[in-house]
């Protein structure tokens, strides 16, 4: 599993940027993409379903099958 800080770093490397943080969630946006990606933060290990949801919304592969 991945920690939220690792997920955020991978998204930033893929061109996503933090636009706001409310409480324990960071919202990220990428130019040219209509969707926002929400990452729970800070959290040591994100569950597999949460990682899959972030993958679908962002198009960034986080889990190696």
Read off the DSSP letter of residue 24.
Answer: T
11 touches 53 (CB < 8 A) = no
Q: What is the pLDDT of residue 43?
A: 82
| Strands of the sheet with 17-22, listed across from one edge | 17-22, 25-29, 37-40
Q: What is d(CA 24, CA 38) in angstroms, rounded to the nearest whole number?
A: 10
Q: What's the start-to-end Cα distance of the chain, in Å?
A: 12
Quick: pLDDT tens for 25-62.
Answer: 999 999 999 999 999 988 889 999 999 999 999 999 99
Q: What is the pLDDT of residue 42?
A: 87
Q: What is the pLDDT of residue 19?
A: 97
Quick: pLDDT tens for 54-64.
Answer: 999 999 999 88
Domains, the chain, in order of start with CATH, read 4-58 (3.30.920.30)
* 17 band by pLDDT with thresholds 50, 70 and 90: very high
Buried b (16+ CB within 10 A) or exposed e, 13-24: eeebeeeeeeee
């Amino acid at each position: 599993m991945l920690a939220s800080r690792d997920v955020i770093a991978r998204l930033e490397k893929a061109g996503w940027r933090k636009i706001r943080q409310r409480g324990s969630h960071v919202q990220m946006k990428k130019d040219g993409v209509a969707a926002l990606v929400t990452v729970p933060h800070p959290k040591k290990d994100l569950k597999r379903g949460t990682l899959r949801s972030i993958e679908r919304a962002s198009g960034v592969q986080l889990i190696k099958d």
